[in-house]
């Protein structure tokens, strides 16, 4: 990767607001889900699993960063647990409908956070 692009990406993360970081994490999850769906369609299950695992890591990070003092935390906590269950289902029985459902959730939340930023 070009060193300037790498430096730009690093700066965009280190200087971003917390809400902006949440949007970036959702963008990354969407991108990885799209790649995982493509890998699955091409029969590349190892790559699909790696990408889904990365999305699980993103969800786990978002879940672990919830502020227990915040009133919305229980709702978001349940939502993140649901995402992890649905992502796990991709390991068991991947299908177009499940990929679309999960990606749709991430797009919806990304857009919601984007409006809040």
Give pTM, 2 decimals. 0.84
CATH topology of domain 18-116: 1.20.120
- Listed in sequence order, the residues at least 6 apart from 110 whose beta carbon sits closer than 8 Å to its beta carbon are 23, 26, 27, 30
Q: Can you tell me the distance from the alpha carbon of 109 to that of 67, in angstroms, rounded to the nearest whole number?
A: 18
From first to last of its 117 residues, the chain has per-residue pLDDT tens of 677 656 655 656 566 788 889 999 999 999 999 999 999 999 999 999 999 999 999 999 999 988 877 776 688 889 999 999 999 999 999 999 999 999 999 999 999 988 876
Delimit the domains of the chain by residue range: 18-116
- Other Cβ atoms less than 10 A from the Cβ of 38: the count is 14
Q: Can you tell me the distance from the alpha carbon of 113 to that of 102, in angstroms, rounded to the nearest whole number?
A: 17
What are the CA-CA distances from residue 30 to residues 73, 92, 109 (Å)?
22, 20, 11
């Amino acid at each position: 990767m070009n060193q300037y692009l790498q430096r730009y990406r690093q700066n965009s993360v280190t200087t971003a607001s917390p809400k902006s970081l949440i949007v970036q994490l959702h963008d990354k999850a969407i991108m990885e889900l799209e790649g995982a769906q493509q890998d699955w369609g091409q029969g590349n299950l190892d790559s699909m699993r790696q990408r889904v695992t990365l999305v699980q890591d993103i969800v786990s990070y978002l879940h672990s960063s919830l502020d227990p003092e915040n009133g919305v935390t229980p709702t978001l906590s349940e939502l993140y647990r649901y995402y992890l269950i649905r992502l796990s289902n991709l390991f068991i029985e991947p299908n177009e409908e499940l990929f679309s459902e999960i990606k749709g959730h991430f797009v919806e939340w990304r857009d919601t956070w984007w409006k809040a930023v």
